[in-house]
Structures are given as structure tokens and as C-alpha cells.
Amino acid sequence: MDSLPFLILVLEWTIRLMVVPIIALRCRPPAALAWVAIVSVQPFLGLLLFLTFGNSRLPRKRIAEHARHRRSFQLDLFPLLREYYVDPEAASEDRSRHLLSVQLGEIPALKGNSLELIDDTQPAIQALIRDIDEATQHVHILVYIWMDDETGRRVCDALIRAEQRGVQCRVLVDAVGSGRFLRNQSRRLREAGVEIHAALPVNPFRKKLARIDMRNHRKLAVIDGRIGYTGSQNICNADYGTRQLEWHDLMLRLTGPIVLQLQAVFCQDWYAETEVQIPREEFFPEAESMGQRVLELFPSGPTYQTQNLHRLLVAMIYEARHEVIITTPYFVPDESLLQAIEVARLRGVIVRLLLPERSDQILVSAAQRSFYRELLEMDVRISLFQPGLLHSKTMTVDNRFAVVGTSNMDIRSFACNLELNLILFDELSVNTVVQQQQKYLAQSLPLKLTAWLQRSRWKTLLEALARLLAPLL
């Protein structure tokens, strides 16, 4: 028994000496320092946490397969979309933005689209149900959170009605975000003929998943290859089961050539989970021009070799000349994003952050607040949304460029989650998003540096401690 403390000590130092080099090889410096600190203080717990959460990369085989499928889909879509592609070289003033987004997202911008912005949960869900009820061929839905609540069951009922009409329905939901829904509703859907699968199941013996908090955070729907949806809206009641805060989401209803790109993303994710190819000739109809909107779909996540969305947003902030407006529920920037904002302010660019006053994530919220003083001292204009939890994710630059979608402004969204955003290039589309941001601003209160500095030292200390974990959040 006397040797037990010595044995524990040896094991602790063995863990420290073995894990630290692995951390250095696998993690970026900020995250590496955080992990080294955790493992140094609590070797056994730190090792367990690192093995569970520390590897932000998918297996190489899955990355290679995903890249091959992306290239294959773009080659197959070329004849259908050729006349709608926007040539970056002919984009005049926006040439650099088009080139960068194509290089990072691997999908070109398309003209000939229409766009409807829906800024409330019930109208968004009602529009989706209406389109499902009018479907004649197929319905594809991919979503992070599908709750077993009144809203979730209404959409289930619509899918069952569609199956009864002979419409093929496929559903892909995140295994963690929609765990209860899968347990309670998947059997009913399967019995009705709906194909439903879990994305990234949590299974330590499943080689396709390297990290249990690496989630498929995308939200999209495709109806008959003609109508598409994407944005921040999950399939659930507006309170997300909290019975307290009403969440404010943003959904985009799309028609035109861009819907075929949405379809391609769904098919790729479906294959990644099921290894079943959806027949392309049946689900990719001839594209038709439906409007004047110039849009580009921008998938991101660990299936890409680089943090492509992070690079795009940082580059756009550096390019800004007049104003950058960001709305996000979670803002935990890394050093490069923070530096881009600081440089923008030094160049005289107005930077506005619209953030929720209240949050559902205690630790993330504390880390987020730890940046407020630094941002306010840069003269960044922070406004706190009052009516509920602002869950909309948008960024506009100079009224010439906008990003709307599923991604938050944090490391998890940039490095760990599969995300889906839409880039808007035309003036009318961008102005639509700016007008929505102004609506949020009208329901927000400005945060002043003088008031912020008067908070208690305990709050400041707790937020500073939370900030130490920011690279891991």
C-alpha cells in the first residue's frame, strides 16, 4: 500500500510526458497551451478529456472520401449549372471576394436565384410544412436539432403525409442534437416509409468519428430539387425546450440553381453516414432561373483541410472599408479574428456586434463576456439583444457582401462542426440582410465601457478564468 502513492505519481508524470508531445503535434498553439495546462494540473482527468474532445480532425479516409465526392458532384453539376456560374475574373470590384470564396469553399457563385428571408420560427416552419405538403417527388432534410415537441411532430406529420402520396422522404439529424427525437420519433417515421439516419453517432468503436463534440450543425431542406431552405432555424418550438427564452432565428427560402448545390451537400452528408449513393439523375432536375440573386453555398468543417470559413471571414473583415455588422449567439474569437477587428477599427471601419443579453451556455457566455472590455476599448459597438436569445448568424461588410447560415463565431464552429453558410453577393440580397440586422439593433441596448468597468471583480475573475478555455470552446 505504501507504494501506491509512488505508483500514482509515476503514472501522472508518464501521462504528462507522453501526452504533451501529442498535444503539440495535433493542436494549434492556443488550444495546445490550454490542453497542456489541464493535463499538467489533472493528468488522469486531462487525458480522458483530451482523448474525448482533443482531436479536432476527422479520419483521413473520411476527409479524402469527402473531397472526392465534392469534386465528383461539381463535375456532374457542371452541365446543369454552366450558364449560371459567375466568373470571378469578370466580377470587377468583387473579383477578389469571388476568387477567395471559390478557392476556400470549392463551390462557385451562381446567378438566377430568388431568396426569401424568414425571421421567425413559426412562419419558417409553416413555410417548410407547406412546401412538404406540395412536394411531388422527394423531400430531403438535414438538421442539427429536431425536438420531439409540437413543432417537431408537425413536421413529422407532414413527412408522413408526403410518404402516403408516394413522395420519397429522407431525414438526416445529428446524433447528439436530436438524440431524444431519434429515440421517440424515428420508429414512427420509418414505419411510414421515411428514411432516417443519425449523423456522427457517438460510438467509440466507430472509426468515422474522432471526437464526440464534433457535430453536424448544418440545417437544410430540399423539396423536389426546386425549393431549398438553410439558415439557423432548427426544427423545434421557438423556446428550444427552455420554456423561458424565445430564440430568434433566421431562415432563407431559396429557389433557382442554388438549390442543386444544397442538394449536393445533402447527398454528400447522406453518403458519409449511410454509404448509400442517392441516384443523381433522379434528384437533380434541369436548373431554371428564378430571379436575380447571386448566391454561393459555402460548406465548412473538419472535412476540409483548412478552417475555410474562418479564413473567409477574417479576410472579409480585413477588406472592409466602411462597416462590418456581425450577429451571433456565441462570440469567442481567436487571436486572428480579434486582430482583424482591431485593424479594421484602426482603419476607421465601424464594427458592430449584435449579441444576446442572455445565453443558454454558461461557460461560453462567460468566455464571451471576457472579450467585451477589450472590444469596447477598440471602440467596437456592442449591442445586447433584449427580447430573447438572438440565434441568428450573419455578417455584412460595406453593404456589398453578406454571410448567413449556421456558423457561430467560435472555434467549435470554425474547426469542429460541419457548418453550412450562404454567401450573398448582389446588392438587393445584402440589403435584405442589413435591414434584418437593423431590426435586431432596434431591439438591443448599447453596451458602454464605463458601465462595463463597474462590474464586480468576482465576475471579471470568473470570466477571465473562462477565457483560458476559449481555445477549446
Residue 451: pLDDT above 80?
Answer: yes
pLDDT of the residue at 197: 96
H-type alpha helices, 83-149: 95-105, 121-133
25, amino acid identity: L
Residues ≥6 apart with Cβ < 8 Å to 412:
213, 473
Q: Which of 248, 393, 410, 426 is catalytic?
A: 393
pLDDT of the residue at 97: 76
Q: Which of 69, 98, 138, 219 is catalytic?
A: 219
Task: Provide the pairing of β-strand 220-223 with 227-231.
Answer: antiparallel
Between residues 6 and 101, the one the model is more confident about: 101
Which cell is 462 given? 470568473
Q: Would residue 197 show up in a list of annotated catalytic residues for this protein?
A: no
Which among 441, 447, 241 is positioned nearest to 360, based on CA atoms?
241
The answer to which of 1-10, 138-147, 210-219 has the lowest mean pLDDT is 1-10
Q: What pLDDT digit, counting tens, does each position of 386-429 carry?
A: 999 999 999 999 999 999 999 999 988 998 899 999 999 999 99
Q: Which residues lie across from 296 on neighbouring strands?
A: 423
pLDDT of the residue at 395: 98
Which among 256, 288, 295, 270 is positioned nearest to 424, based on CA atoms?
295
The answer to which of 137-141, 237-241, 329-333 has the lowest mean pLDDT is 237-241
Q: Which of 217, 249, 310, 426 is catalytic?
A: 217
The answer to which of 205-214, 218-227, 256-265 has the lowest mean pLDDT is 205-214
Fold of 60-85+109-293: Endonuclease; Chain A (3.30.870)
Give the three-state DSSP class for 316: helix
Which cell is 21 given? 508531445
Note the pTM of the prediction, 2 decimals. 0.89
- 308-472 has the same fold as 60-85+109-293: yes
pLDDT of the residue at 159: 98
Report CA 348 to chain centroid distance, whole Å: 29
Mean pLDDT of 249-253: 97
* Burial label, 137 (beta-carbon count in 10 A; 0-12, 13-18, 19+): middle
Q: Which of 98, 140, 248, 391 is catalytic?
A: 391
Q: Would residue 239 show up in a list of annotated catalytic residues for this protein?
A: no
> Which of 7-16, 213-222, 436-445 is modeled with the greatest confidence?
436-445
The band of 25, judged by pLDDT with boundaries at 50, 70 and 90, is low
Q: Which of 111, 138, 140, 224 is catalytic?
A: 224
pLDDT of the residue at 344: 97
Q: Would residue 217 show up in a list of annotated catalytic residues for this protein?
A: yes
Residues ≥6 apart with Cβ < 8 Å to 71:
106
Fold of 308-472: Endonuclease; Chain A (3.30.870)
Give the three-state DSSP class for 141: strand
Q: What pLDDT digit, counting tens, does each position of 111-126 carry?
A: 999 999 999 899 999 9
Residue 257: pLDDT above 90?
Answer: yes
Q: Would residue 224 show up in a list of annotated catalytic residues for this protein?
A: yes
Q: Give helix then strand counts, H and E, for the chain.
A: 18, 19
Residue 398 phi, psi (nearest 5):
55, 25
The band of 361, judged by pLDDT with boundaries at 50, 70 and 90, is confident
pLDDT of the residue at 455: 87
Q: Would you list the DSSP string of 331-383?
A: EE--HHHHHHHHHHHHTT-EEEEEEESS-S-HHHHHHHHTTHHHHHHTT-EEE
pLDDT of the residue at 17: 67
Q: Would residue 391 show up in a list of annotated catalytic residues for this protein?
A: yes
The answer to which of 59-73, 140-154, 331-345, 360-374 has the lowest mean pLDDT is 59-73
Which among 432, 352, 394, 102 is positioned nearest to 231, based on CA atoms?
394
pLDDT of the residue at 447: 96
Mean pLDDT of 67-85: 79
Task: Tell me which residue has cell 472599408.
Answer: 321
pLDDT of the residue at 76: 78
Which cell is 160 given? 408522413
Q: Would residue 219 show up in a list of annotated catalytic residues for this protein?
A: yes
| Per-domain boundaries in the chain | 3-53, 60-85+109-293, 308-472
